[in-house]
Structure 1
Amino acid sequence: MPGRPVPRVRSCLRSPNNAQYRAHATKVLRGDDLGPVVQGEHQTFRVRNDGSKLPLPPVLDPIVVAQRSRWKQHKAQPDVASFTPFQKKMWENPYAHALASPIRIDRSLSTLLPSALLLTLHLKPHPTTLEPWLLPLSLSTPNPPKHHGPPLRFLAHKHNAAHLTTRKEVWKKALSARYAPLLGPRGMAQLVWRKDMPEFLLGMLRARAEDKLGWWFKWRGRLIPVASPAPEHLADVDDAACVLLYGSLRTRADAVLAEANAIVAEADRSAAYYRAGFAKYFDTHVRPPPNQPRATHYTPAWFEPLVPRLAPRAQFPPLEFPTTRWRGRKVAMYSLTDMLGAERAAALVGGTQYEGEACWVMKRGRQTVGVEMLLGQLQSYLAEPGVVWWPR
């Protein structure tokens, strides 16, 4: 019939699995394997039987391939002995290492951040029920496997972890699209998120920091004892990286912070109740202002009456981190009591040669980068907005 598509001719020889086989060349001829060649300055030519020259394709030309491979070779490892003073400072800076970590997305906030600022959860089957659980394998396992399923990353802060652990299961909205085909409908329904995830993550971060600090407190000489974190007591120490303090840095503002947050929550609840009960009196589409014409359209679905509330910038100011001055430069200060807890801090310092001292300086070096990054991550997880830890 004219216009009818011609059916595709299929072979009657079919494999049991209906697999399609394709022929592949076993060897790609290049260079001298193609025959007599002549290399010019920028190109290779093949000599034909009549003496003429035929240029080789760029894929087969050894000169072109060699020039392209120059930009695809892996860079050599940096030589630490030949570092400049600035490169050595960058190599020993934990903040540079944190910012240089691979960029990953926090799907709960739709924000791209360095992976050192994020917490990562992976799938782990329960040993008894075999249900898939989301657990921080990077914190619990010293050498986690590289390929352990799609990760779930979010900002390393206890408020963000608490937000994902709400009863509305906000964490499911932050899952990657790769979870559904990997687990299936039944696996997605069985996926478990711990109800105590904020406290569980805090315990894991404290355990890692405590294990790392145990090496520093084991022998005398790795930390420099000082009288206090005041600048005049730190001026005689060379290459100070951070200050460890056995004691609390909390002020009176920390004592009233919970009470202030409760007052703000109650004010927000009253504002929401007032807005819901008296919305029609604030709707300008129904009750226009004096000397104003009535609206010609209905109230949009997104409209909400304006009710006075505390400004978010006043309620959630920037986070404050304790610092002190060393030779005119700010250095981080970590309170072992506030970060690890009183019992963990006493167990860490007690029985060591540093027992009885209250402040130490950790000197700058490549070996201190790992412990500084762990202390910074734990401090960021516990940081509260609007609290000044130390006079600046």
Structure 2
Amino acid sequence: MPARRIPRVKSCLTLPNNAQRRAHVVNVLRGEDLGPVVQDEHHTFHARKDGSKLPLPPVLDPIAVEKRWRWKQQKEKPGVAGFTPFQKKLLENPYAHVLASPVRIDRSLSTLLPSALLLTLHIKPHPKTLEPWLLPLSLSTPNPPKYLGPPLRFLAHSHNVAYLTARKEIWKKVLSQRFIPFLGPRGMAQLVWRKDMPEMLLNMLRARVEDKLAWFFKWRGRLVPVASPSSADTEDVEDVACFIFLGSLRSRADAIHDEADAIAAQADKWSDYFRTGYGKFFDPHITPPAHLPKATHHPPPWFQLVVPRLAPRAQFPPLECPTTRWRGRKVAVYSLTDMLGAERAEALIAETRYEGERCWVMKQGRQTVDVQMMLGQLASYLALPGPVWWPRL
């Protein structure tokens, strides 16, 4: 007789699929409800009738609950009235706010930077085609929602944005893995990066600065007019945060710098042309020398034909922003003509109480921290490399 399969006995602890699972709230006993207890420095014990002590569980132990709650309660907001002079000075420093912003990664440079130095793009569907587009919603939306989807962050500089835009879909290589489950394979294939991304970001940064500065130029007293940013004209002014100058700070050296950049770009163009067209004649794996046999192996993945180029340190030295001296320390000077353009700068000053003046001092204070950060971000976006300084070895 064939053996019959014995059914497995279900556990009485398992619930059927349609059974409701109810959460039971544990009532934590307090005070006299615990009964006779004995406490020492670290624990609470239940006093038994025979004189022995039974330790209470951490959930019921008042000492353990108090120590655990100490780390869970929220900290009180600091009162500005009780700040020390150093704390007040730190609160009014825009550079301290930039460095205190959350650190995020720029995948195009593989560098961790404060988020105030980065530009962020989020996904937004096109109103007609519903295709996902990468757009700076934090700059275009006045009150953006708390969560806008996975972000794409990169350094807020025009050269970096131009690099991501010019190269063939190089921006797709710097997307994080969170975009894949958010969009899916089809959405990743339809994701759009605008070809005019550098100009669009520049216009948005300019519009944000114009909107903020319009409030300062609306009433007299928000800014202090001075003759020039030189230390001789500003020695008597107190609490200088930065200078706003109506006029260009560019010199003949900047024009020479632009010509040098054009020559370097032309040299890189011919270098790439030589490597693409004639590189196979200099590759030992494809065209070996006459005294050597032909290679029988494929080139390793790291192999690349080296073509002479201008040294990156000489081509891209550290960026330089205009500054001046005020009572022994450096103070930023922001040129409205260089950052906004001559027409937009004149339109910003026109028909205001400050019309006819060319230089103003922005005082240090909590009300000017935001506008200083916006001016610094726009100046960093447009900043050009300064002169190369080679240290002596």
> Is TM-score (shorter-chain normalized) higher than 0.5?
yes
User: Which residue of structure 2 lines up, in the alignment, with residue 47 of structure 1?
Assistant: 47
Cα distance in 1 between the residues matched to 2:121 and 2:173:
15
1:171 CA displacement: 1.7
User: Which residue of structure 1 lines up, in the alignment, with residue 258 of structure 2?
Assistant: 258
User: Which residue of structure 2 lines up, in the alignment, with residue 241 of structure 1?
Assistant: 241
| Alignment check: 8 A CA contact 2:120 2:152 kept | yes
Cα distance in 2 between the residues matched to 1:306 and 1:152:
32
**Amino acid in the other structure paired with 2:121:** L
Cα distance in 2 between the residues matched to 1:301 and 1:219:
64
Q: Deviations over 1:282-306 (max 9, x none)?
A: 85994599xxx99999664533454
| Alignment check: 8 A CA contact 1:254 1:387 kept | no
**Amino acid in the other structure paired with 2:174:** A
Q: Which moved more, 1:351-360 or 1:125-134?
A: 125-134
Structure 2: stretches of 5+ with no match in the other structure: 389-393
Q: Taking structure 1 as reference, are residues 234 and 130 closer, same or farther at Cα in structure 2, changes over 3 Å only?
A: same
User: Which residue of structure 1 lines up, in the alignment, with residue 345 of structure 2?
Assistant: 345
| Alignment check: 8 A CA contact 1:279 1:305 kept | no
Q: Taking structure 1 as reference, are residues 68 and 183 closer, same or farther at Cα in structure 2, changes over 3 Å only?
A: same
Q: Taking structure 1 as reference, are residues 8 and 147 closer, same or farther at Cα in structure 2, changes over 3 Å only?
A: farther
1:58 CA displacement: 2.2
Give the 3-state SS of the residue equivalent to 1:217 in structure 2.
helix
Map 1:162-173 → 2, pairs under 5 A: 162-166=162-166, 168-173=168-173
Query: Is 1:216 aligned with 2:216?
Result: yes
| Alignment check: 8 A CA contact 1:281 1:287 kept | no
TM-score where L is the length of structure 1: 0.87
| Alignment check: 8 A CA contact 2:227 2:359 kept | yes
Cα distance in 1 between the residues matched to 2:319 and 2:253:
14
Give the 3-state SS of the residue equivalent to 2:105 in structure 1.
strand
User: Which residue of structure 2 lines up, in the alignment, with residue 333 of structure 1?
Assistant: 333
| Alignment check: 8 A CA contact 2:179 2:188 kept | yes
Map 1:138-149 → 2, pairs under 5 A: 138-149=138-149
1:232 CA displacement: 0.7
User: Which residue of structure 1 lines up, in the alignment, with residue 24 of structure 2?
Assistant: 25
Give the 3-state SS of the residue equivalent to 2:219 in structure 1.
coil
Cα distance in 1 between the residues matched to 2:307 and 2:197:
35
Query: Is 1:83 aligned with 2:83?
Result: yes
Structure 1: stretches of 5+ with no match in the other structure: none
Cα distance in 1 between the residues matched to 2:218 and 2:9:
77
Cα distance in 1 between the residues matched to 2:137 and 2:274:
46
Q: Which moved more, 1:263-272 or 1:54-63?
A: 263-272
User: Which residue of structure 2 lines up, in the alignment, with residue 309 of structure 1?
Assistant: 309
User: Which residue of structure 2 lines up, in the alignment, with residue 181 of structure 1?
Assistant: 181
Cα distance in 1 between the residues matched to 2:212 and 2:305:
53
1:131 CA displacement: 2.4
1:177 CA displacement: 1.4
Q: Taking structure 1 as reference, are residues 82 and 247 closer, same or farther at Cα in structure 2, changes over 3 Å only?
A: same
Aligned-residue sequence identity (percent) comes to: 67
Cα distance in 2 between the residues matched to 1:46 and 1:23:
31
Cα distance in 2 between the residues matched to 1:192 and 1:162:
16
Give the 3-state SS of the residue equivalent to 1:177 in structure 2.
coil
Give the 3-state SS of the residue equivalent to 1:204 in structure 2.
helix
1:310 CA displacement: 1.2
| Alignment check: 8 A CA contact 1:90 1:96 kept | yes
1:280 CA displacement: 4.8
Cα distance in 2 between the residues matched to 1:44 and 1:382:
65
User: Which residue of structure 2 lines up, in the alignment, with residue 385 of structure 1?
Assistant: 385
| Alignment check: 8 A CA contact 1:317 1:385 kept | yes
| Alignment check: 8 A CA contact 1:283 1:305 kept | no
User: Which residue of structure 1 lines up, in the alignment, with residue 360 of structure 2?
Assistant: 360
Q: Which moved more, 1:345-354 or 1:274-283?
A: 274-283
User: Which residue of structure 1 lines up, in the alignment, with residue 204 of structure 2?
Assistant: 204
Query: Is 1:66 aligned with 2:69?
Result: no
1:186 CA displacement: 2.2
1:329 CA displacement: 0.7
**Amino acid in the other structure paired with 1:178:** R
1:42 CA displacement: 2.5
Cα distance in 2 between the residues matched to 1:341 and 1:183:
39
| Alignment check: 8 A CA contact 1:229 1:324 kept | yes
**Amino acid in the other structure paired with 1:156:** A
Cα distance in 2 between the residues matched to 1:257 and 1:54:
82
Give the 3-state SS of the residue equivalent to 1:165 in structure 2.
helix
Cα distance in 2 between the residues matched to 1:65 and 1:138:
42
**Amino acid in the other structure paired with 1:14:** N
* RMSD of equivalent CA atoms: 3.0
Q: Taking structure 1 as reference, are residues 7 and 235 closer, same or farther at Cα in structure 2, changes over 3 Å only?
A: farther
**Amino acid in the other structure paired with 1:211:** D
**Amino acid in the other structure paired with 2:25:** T
Cα distance in 2 between the residues matched to 1:211 and 1:68:
48
| Alignment check: 8 A CA contact 1:45 1:56 kept | yes
Q: Taking structure 1 as reference, are residues 178 and 28 closer, same or farther at Cα in structure 2, changes over 3 Å only?
A: farther
**Amino acid in the other structure paired with 2:229:** P
1:61 CA displacement: 1.1
User: Which residue of structure 1 lines up, in the alignment, with residue 391 of structure 2?
Assistant: none
Cα distance in 1 between the residues matched to 2:325 and 2:26:
67
Q: Number of residues paired by the alignment?
A: 379
1:274 CA displacement: 4.0
Query: Is 1:122 aligned with 2:125?
Result: no
**Amino acid in the other structure paired with 1:29:** V
Give the 3-state SS of the residue equivalent to 1:255 in structure 2.
helix
Query: Is 1:267 aligned with 2:270?
Result: no
User: Which residue of structure 2 lines up, in the alignment, with residue 370 of structure 1?
Assistant: 370
Cα distance in 2 between the residues matched to 1:294 and 1:70:
76
